[in-house]
Structure 1
């Protein structure tokens, strides 16, 4: 008897799916996408920077997010007006005595001493009284009076030395002679010193209140 040979399976066409790992029911894996080119990635253009946020309301002066606002100017320092005036008066009397002693000892009017009188009067008034606009004006008047009183004291000391009496006696009994002597001896420089002292007090009051 002749054995019949089983027919051999027909070769599969290349387009037909092939079994994977011997499993005829497994589906072939889809083709993986090609790997990105490293050279192309490295040379790719950088991402553009984000555009600035539009100005609020179209106002170019509006504050931007995160901006620090400018500090507000400091308010002028407040003080006690009455106490400032009293302080200026006391300093004016003290400095007048010192200035008079300098004039009496040197027999000269010294401009720097007049400036010092004005600065001390004005600075003390501004330091205690604050930024009140009355203080510079009053300080100038008090400094003018302090320089004048200092000149009177200086003339009295000189007259007391010449007469050989005490300064207390000459001021208590002959004050009219002292003022008359000032009127005779006063010159343009004496009035300049008065103005210098007043101006220095006006400026000193503003500096003291700052």
Structure 2
């Protein structure tokens, strides 16, 4: 005796699971996280440059990566976040370079970094940076921004 295939009754099918909800995120928190990480990364970037007495491209990549990851993870999928993280990363690399100048001046003059930051001020540090900036300094600014944009976009997908 051969058995014939009989499909199950229509009411016996189980429903497919609901799709995972889209991660909305929060633009304000994403920007705040990126700002905090940018400031911390700027300090670390300047400290690394001072410790090895030169710039390293991987450090600029690290700054951009950290800022972009923070913005994308906390902020979620928002088209503004990659742009904001790129701008903040460029600022962080620049501040890191200024911090490096401040640390070098403090070492040279045998004074504290706070004295360097308060006495000549940020304007004087900026003038020193502009006079000593080379093409690589600008390249590292661009690298940091490029990596931050890509990281924020990738993490939010």
Same fold (TM over 0.5): yes
- Answer yes or no: is 1:169 the counterpart of 2:115: yes
2:86 equivalent among 116, 123, 140: 140
2:46 equivalent among 100, 124, 134: 100
In the TM superposition, residue 91 of structure 1 has moved relative to its aligned partner by 0.4
- Answer yes or no: is 1:193 the counterpart of 2:143: no
Q: In the aligned structure 2, how far is the partner of 1:166 from the partner of 1:144?
A: 26
Unaligned ranges ≥5, structure 2: 1-18
Instruction: Name the TM-score, length of structure 2 as normaliser.
Output: 0.84
Structure having greater relative contact order (Cα 8 Å, sep ≥ 6): 2
Q: In the aligned structure 2, how far is the partner of 1:75 from the partner of 1:108?
A: 47
Structure 1 match to 2:154? 207
Q: In the aligned structure 1, how far is the partner of 2:128 from the partner of 2:26?
A: 40
Tell me how large the CA RMSD over aligned residues is. Answer: 1.8
Higher helix share: 2
In the TM superposition, residue 75 of structure 1 has moved relative to its aligned partner by 7.0
Q: In the aligned structure 2, how far is the partner of 1:147 from the partner of 1:168?
A: 20
The 4+ residue runs of structure 1 with deviation greater than 6 A are none
- The count of corresponding residues between Structure 1 and Structure 2 is 140
Instruction: Name the TM-score, length of structure 1 as normaliser.
Output: 0.63
The change in CA–CA distance for 1:120 and 1:161 in structure 2 (over 3 A counts) is: same
- Answer yes or no: is 1:122 the counterpart of 2:103: no
